[in-house]
Amino acid sequence: MSILVYIEQAEGAIKKTSLEAVSYARALADNEGTGVTAVAMGSIENSQLAKVGAAGADKVLHVNNERLNAGIIQAHASAVAQAYKKVEAKTLILAKSSLGDAVAARLAIKLNAGLVSNVTDLPDTSSGYKVKRSIYTGKAFAETSISTEHKILAVKKNAVDLKTDGVEAEVELFEVALSEDDFSAKITSTDQATGDVLLPEADIVVSGGRGMKGPENWNLIEDLAKSLGAATGCSKPVSDIGWRPHHEHVGQTGVKVAPTLYIAIGISGAIQHLAGVNSSKYIVVINKDADAPFFKAADYGIVGDAFEVLPKLTEAVKALK
């Protein structure tokens, strides 16, 4: 018997959020005295699969099927269900994501399992099985009880410290039986985000708002982001008026992020934007308006003109490196 972890990948690279899910499973398995098996699908090199072992998995089931490179929800759910039964698991761990949410919902039905999403801590089993999760876009926490034999936990991004000192995991090719019905949904086109660091996976995000005054000044945002190895984002008004592409829009109706560090420059801090970033571990706000609402949510703030602050901040980061 083993805890199973569903691994997501993009273009052959395993997502950091999935590795965090593996580390969460490792901690849970150590408490329960069991092992951790991961299931990864699609075309993935062994060098990438090795990261799963470093994160805490004992074994990786690799479903090496090119048709699974794309995130076809039904096919992934069927494959994971077969892996779950193979390892005689009672618990499935995965990262909370757009794909993970959809796969988890289908697996809850297939496995007759209780599902808790946005998990932030290990279960409390002192009296039943209670799981702490984030609610109200990170403003509060709730304890949810699961009474079913089978359990699915979707772990919130950055809620777990990523383990990197695990042993090399055994990799086993795993054949699954998939029907054409599993591939009945078709992905006809994909709007691929661009950039050196993609926003949903970024550990550091640098965002700009209308305080940047125009797209011609965005090089200041990009220079700081490049020096930090960060992704770039923007507020909704900035994407609405066409200064930046819509896939960079961070907020309640855009991309919700949970990086270790979020730097907001020239953004007032409307509640819709805050809802998309308040799961960040640290928030730094740079704004010349000392009364900007964003300062109330910030861990650190700089009251100053972005056009003066950013070049100095970028140079300071480069000097430290």
Annotation-wise, does 263 bind a ligand?
no
Task: Encode burial over 70-93: b for 16+ CB neighbours within 10 A, e otherwise.
Answer: ebbbbbbbbbbbbbbebbebbbbb
How far is residue 27's CA from residue 21's CA, in Å, rounded to a whole number? 10
Residue 141, CB-side half-sphere exposure with 13 Å CA sphere: 11
Annotation-wise, does 118 bind a ligand?
no
Task: List the beta bridge partners of residue 172.
Answer: 61
Annotation-wise, does 287 bind a ligand?
yes
Annotation-wise, does 269 bind a ligand?
yes
Annotation-wise, does 210 bind a ligand?
yes
Annotation-wise, does 272 bind a ligand?
yes
Annotation-wise, does 273 bind a ligand?
yes
Extract the annotated binding site for FAD: 210, 266-273, 287
Extract the annotated binding site: 210, 266-273, 287
